[in-house]
A and B are shown apart, each in its own frame.
Chain A
Amino acid sequence: MTSNGVFQILLYCSLILALTKPAGAFMARLFAGERTFLHPVLRPFERLCYVLIGVREDAEQRWTQYAASLLSFSFWSFLLLFLLQRWQSLLPLNPSGFGPGVTPDLAFNTAVSFVTNTNWQSYSGESTYSYLVQMAGLTVQNFASAAAGLAVAIAVIRGFARQQTNTLGNFWVDITRAAVYILLPLSVLAALFFCSQGVIQNFTPPTVVTTLEGQQQVIAQGPVASQEAIKMLGTNGGGFFNANSAHPFENPTPLTNLLQMVLIFVLPAGLTYTFGRMVGDQRQGWALFSAMSVLFLAGVFVVYAAEQAGNPNLTQLGVASIASEDQPGGNMEGKEVRFGIAATALFATITTAASCGAVIGMHDSFTPLGGLVPLFNMQVGEVIFGGVGAGLYGMLLFAILAVFIAGLMVGRTPEYLGKRIEGKEVKMAMLGLIATAAAILLFSGASTGFTANLNNGGPHGFAEILYAYTSAAANNGSAFAGLNANTPWFNTTLGIAMLIGRFLIIIPMLAAAGNLASKKRLAVTSGTLPTHGLLFVTLLIGTIVIVGALTFFPALSLGPIVEHFLLQQGRLF
């Protein structure tokens, strides 16, 4: 590791730390229905939205209504996006004339992918979809799915914050506020900045140029900046181009790279503060923030160390693996020279910790341990800051489990934030855990026969499959690459995994929140388990790591772990 690399990582962390409070406080005010500094400008627009969709702003919903609203919103979004893809050849803004070649299974996969905030891409953007589908379809869903995630997180927080009520807020109001006051303004600003740095934004058909060697090269064009901003801010991760943020038109400079990374974490980190504010104890929010930070830093440094150490077999061949003035050392395979090892390790950890899935390097080309961390980050359920909203409610799922298991050891019925954790909550938390574990393990197990779709064999080939389903079920969307997933089997099963990973977490968490909201808040005494100190943070981390490790250790041991040991013995895949 170089001091420059460590500096980049710490600089990034300080930026997130500094932004957590302002972002969180803003969201807390917004979702509590208080006025913010944006209200003078945006309030009329918000009102207009309610008039258009016919929603009364003060109408509260029970958890079932909230969940039903979310499901119907997602269903219509899915249908719209599905049809847009299927009919793109009939619609405008298609300068490349992409035809009706989008198969039903790919259209299904892509529609599910963007509606569930996964943004798994079985396709290459620049060679599959028209500008209209990219903008009106994919980019719109980038906003919609992120706003929906944010709304669910707020509803779940309300479950803890409220007492003796059966309502959790109004989905339509929450999603409107999330989009109008948070996602749109920030995206506009970020897109403008990206343009200033060289990210393109146009409707020009692909440019054909003659290279120095005299070859013809097609340079893809398109409305990239507008999609790029929300791709990061909404932890979507679906790139305009197949190369995603490694593409110079998506992510041209170190500054855009830094901003992209900041955009991924700003809302998930801020939500921990919002959480503290809404439940009336800021320390509770910082406890979650700390647990996430510890897991995040551990991950970053493992990846960085593994990547900087490089491949020992190359070292034996005399390749310099130590960083020097002239070269970065370590494992540069699949990495952009613009960004280098530290930034790529950092980006890879961020994008898999949050359910973003944008990449600036190929995770498939990481060392086994370097690839293990992104895989593990996703397998613990994207709770290390996590997706917009999804990270927080995923973390609260683990908090419920941690409190339930260890809370008994203080000699009381476990309680979190004054709410008793009983059968219903445990049932819902377990349902969420089982659903994602089942989606990852069963589909991976069932897909091991498709070796023809893999670039690599052995444990690395298995890791490619495991990574795909993990990424889908965790709603991450990043690809390990090396797996040709654009087949009916993979498109369909990955789509199902995404649906499970999204809705079989959201619905149980909303159910738990609905139940919690109806409970009375218990008084806090010195006999109450403290959930804001170092002890609880340790406990929460332990629960996440152990539950995650116990579930996936057998599978991981046949993937990256054994690959690591084989690498040490000089066997590669």
Chain B
Amino acid sequence: MTRSRPLSDPAILRRALRDSFVKLHPAKLIKNPVIFVVEVGAFMTTALLLRDLATGAADTGFNFQISLWLWFTVLFANFAEAMAEARGKAQADSLRKTKTHSVAKRLQPNGKTEEVSASQLRAGDHVICETGDTIPGDGEVVDGIATVDESVITGESAPVIRESGGDRSAVTGGTRVLSDRIQIRITSNPGETFLDRMIALVEGADRKKTPNEIALNILIAGLTLIFLLAVVTLQPISASSGAPPSVAVLVALLVCLIPTTIGGLLSAIGIAGMDRVMQYNVLAMSGKAVEAAGDVNTLLLDKTGTITIGNRQAVEFLPVAGVLETELAEAGQLSSFADETPEGRSVVVLAKEKYGLRGRELSHHEAHFIPFSAYTRMSGVDMNSDHLRKGATESIAQFVREQGGAVPDELHDLAARVSRQGGTPLAVANGRRALGIIHLKDVVKGGMKDRLAELRRMGIQTVMITGDNPLTAAAIAAEAGVDNFLAQASPADKLNYIKKEQAEGRLVAMTGDGTNDAPALAQADVGLAMNTGTMAAKEAGNMVDLDSNPTKLIEVVGIGKQLLITRGALTTFSIANDVAKYFAIIPAMFMTAYPALGALNIMGLHSSQSAVLSAVIFNALIIIVLVPLALRGVKYRPESAGALLRRNLLVYGLGGLVSPFPAIWIIDQFVHALGLA
């Protein structure tokens, strides 16, 4: 499920508009040095404007417009950030609503329960939850089994089962028990629960700048300083020319040159990136984790559930000599009628599809079904004189021998052949006659092969983790197209594999749910824990998938990359834009002193004032124009780095160099037509 929100939600817009003004406070704005410089510039031009108005100096109209657009520039930048935040806040509000002040039934040492407010619970308390109760805090089921509605967290309305012991014991505060009664040991104090953390994360309240964001901030702050030097020194340099530019024009030049576009959009990009992950129903514990996802070189994917669909399917009937394929198919089908497992059903379906066996009407008095037991490791049906059984090869062989029959070597050969191909052999016998083998196969998820190929193009290698033996694992790995596999993998093997990859300079991502996955999840650069998993796993990972769908790891990698690309693209665009602004402003600035510089006015802008004004207007408007791009992210295509760079350099580098020329020209036409300058 994705929780996408339209960009133009009126409630969010209203909130963002209000916040853009709140953010004008210099104490808040100083955290964004680029935009802060714009604000200082706006203050300066406004102050000069007021002085000019008081003294009745000329050109107040022009100075007024410059001041106005400088303020707009600040507001637009604030709006971009506020917009991104407002989207998170709206979601946090809806989460907060579910955080009811529920009453908890705390278990006292004497075995009785007392009613206390959920906020009074501390880690280690035991509470009882019954049908209809809201679980008061994060915890672990220590007794009982219940169905729980976790839609608050996951958005998924189908209830899930939570029971004591095993990997499904974790419950989350705010979710609701739908049936039965469980005893829960509370594991987190109020304010530190998963829901609290989730609210804080989507709200971006304690958002820390990621390492890459910090580095980028240094870059743009440094560029701002350089341009400050370039513009400030223009004053004395041009003094000798006889007609130095006015302060308003110098400020306008400065604001146009400093990277306001990326400066205004940078934090919005980061917040929106987190938000996009959230829309995939993945909760990233930090922006750093999302960035790391973009850097991943190796993906550890669990075979079952990620690469293959969870169940095996019958794909082939392999009779021993002297048995017809149809006879084997019919025996297999009959023995599977009562077998409700997906494997059993797939045998029935295969027999029907391949041999048109409709399956006879079987009534209970003529057929006696033998259910599968862990002891016999087979199931089947007794019907008239037939004793049909299917099961593990060894079990069937033993059954045949017990019935007085002989087991042909061929049966073992066939079984071995199936194993080699990555399948699971299922032997079938009728009394003392061994009939053959049914080939059960892991089925690779549709489209998985293409996605893995896509990952390879992106330079990401995939490793399949499976408990299967190496033979089986190799066959499935080849079929799915993974680059490598780890067979008969224990949690320790996983951990070692991750360490080995990291030692070779690769970043590793994995998914996991069990407590024994926790060390590997913690070691991995990106650890995506399943929400159905244990608390230990969720704590160890740096992301939680609320839908518990391990395939999502691939999407998360894409989002991480998209986040970084968006940053790079807008930075490049922002810097490349400056070239055109120079061509607009420099000739305009010195038109009086050096009319010869008019040769640089290649856009043919109408007057020096309209040129400066047009550049400033372009500089402000481009922020607003790019807000949707910053929030949605640059379109990401799974390609090699070289191809991506070529494309993005062309679009954002060359595009950034060229596009402002016509844009400023058009604005100049408007400014001129409207008589603004």
Contacts and interface: CB of A to CB of B under 8 A. Distances in A.
A554 B227 CA distance: 10
Contact of B640 (A441, A526, A551): A526
Contact of B586 (A411, A444, A557): A557
Contacts of A557: 586, 590, 597, 600
Given A529-B642, A565-B599, 13 more contacts: A405-B219, A408-B564, A409-B645, A409-B649, A441-B229, A441-B233, A442-B233, A526-B458, A550-B227, A557-B586, A558-B234, A558-B590, A562-B594
B667 interface: no
A565 B597 contact: yes
A529 B641 contact: yes
Contacts of A449: 236
B215 A554 contact: no
A430 interface: yes
A442 B226 CA distance: 11
A530 interface: yes
Contacts of A406: 568, 572, 645, 648-649, 653
Contacts of A448: 236-237, 239-240
Say what secondary structure dominates the interface of chain B.
Answer: helix
A437 B226 contact: yes
B653 A451 contact: no
Interface stretch (B21-29, B57-65, B274-282, B291-299): B291-299
A558 B231 CA distance: 12
Contacts of B551: none
Given A442-B229, A522-B505, A411 B297 contact: no
Interface in B84-140: none
A437 B230 contact: yes
A405 B253 CA distance: 23
B230 A413 contact: no
Nearest to A526: B459
Contact of B641 (A401, A418, A528): A528
B505 A527 contact: no
A51 interface: no
A412 B294 contact: yes
10 contacts: A405-B219, A405-B572, A409-B648, A410-B565, A425-B215, A445-B235, A522-B507, A523-B505, A551-B229, A551-B230
Interface in B545-584: 560-562, 564-565, 567-569, 571-572, 575-576, 578-579, 582
The 10 closest A-B pairs by CB, nearest first: A527-B459, A408-B568, A411-B561, A430-B222, A525-B459, A445-B233, A565-B596, A409-B568, A526-B459, A409-B648
Contact of A423 (B218, B231, B295, B599): B218
B345 interface: no
Interface string B230-267: 11111111111100000000000100010000000000
A423 B215 contact: yes
Contact of A411 (B294, B461, B590): B294
B388 interface: no
A18 interface: no
Contacts of B295: 412-413
Contacts of B257: 550
A337 interface: no
A339 interface: no
B158 interface: no
B640 A527 contact: yes
B460 interface: yes
Given A426-B215, A546-B575, A555 B236 contact: no
A413 B507 CA distance: 11
A46 interface: no
A535 B646 CA distance: 7
A526 B641 contact: yes
B649 A408 contact: no
B464 to A, nearest CB: 18
Contacts of A427: 215, 218, 222
B169 to A, nearest CB: 37
B522 interface: no
A539 B649 contact: yes
Contacts of A404: 215-216, 219
B645 A561 contact: no
B208 interface: no
Contacts of A421: 215
Contacts of B212: 408, 413, 422
B648 A434 contact: no
Contact of B505 (A433, A521, A550, A553): A521
A437 B225 CA distance: 10
B506 interface: yes
B84 to A, nearest CB: 18
A100 interface: no
B206 interface: no
A123 interface: no
B560 A411 contact: yes
Contacts of A295: none
B457 interface: yes
Given A409-B649, A411-B565, A522-B505, A434 B237 contact: no
A412 B294 CA distance: 5
B586 A529 contact: no
Contacts of A418: 505
Interface size bracket, B side? 35 or more
Interface string A545-573: 01001111111011001100110110100
Contacts of B571: 405, 408
B495 interface: no
A527 B460 contact: yes
Q: Interface extent on A, as a size class?
A: 35 or more
Contacts of B223: 430
Interface string B55-85: 0000000000000000000000000000000
Given A526-B457, A539-B649, A557-B590, A423 B214 contact: yes
Contact of B236 (A445, A520, A539): A445
Interface in B489-527: 504-507
A347 to B, nearest CB: 29
B305 interface: no
B561 A430 contact: no
A423 B567 CA distance: 15
Interface string B636-661: 10001110111011001100000000
B165 interface: no
B467 interface: no
B211 interface: yes
Interface string B187-221: 00000000000000000000000011011101101
A319 to B, nearest CB: 23
A433 B590 contact: no
B664 to A, nearest CB: 16
A526 B641 CA distance: 6
Residue among A405, A437, A542 with most chain B CB within 10 A: A405
A126 B456 CA distance: 68
B297 A535 contact: no
A446 interface: yes
A442 B231 CA distance: 11
Contact of B565 (A408, A425, A549, A551): A408
A561 B597 contact: yes
Interface string A456-478: 00110010000000000000000
A555 B230 contact: yes
B237 A566 contact: no
A438 interface: yes
A549 B657 CA distance: 13
Contacts of B600: 557, 561
Given A409-B649, A550-B582, A562 B596 contact: yes
Contacts of B229: 434, 437-438, 441-442, 551
Given A412-B561, A426-B218, A555-B230, A527 B645 contact: no
Interface in A312-348: none
A488 interface: no
Nearest to A461: B240
A527 B296 CA distance: 9
A533 interface: yes
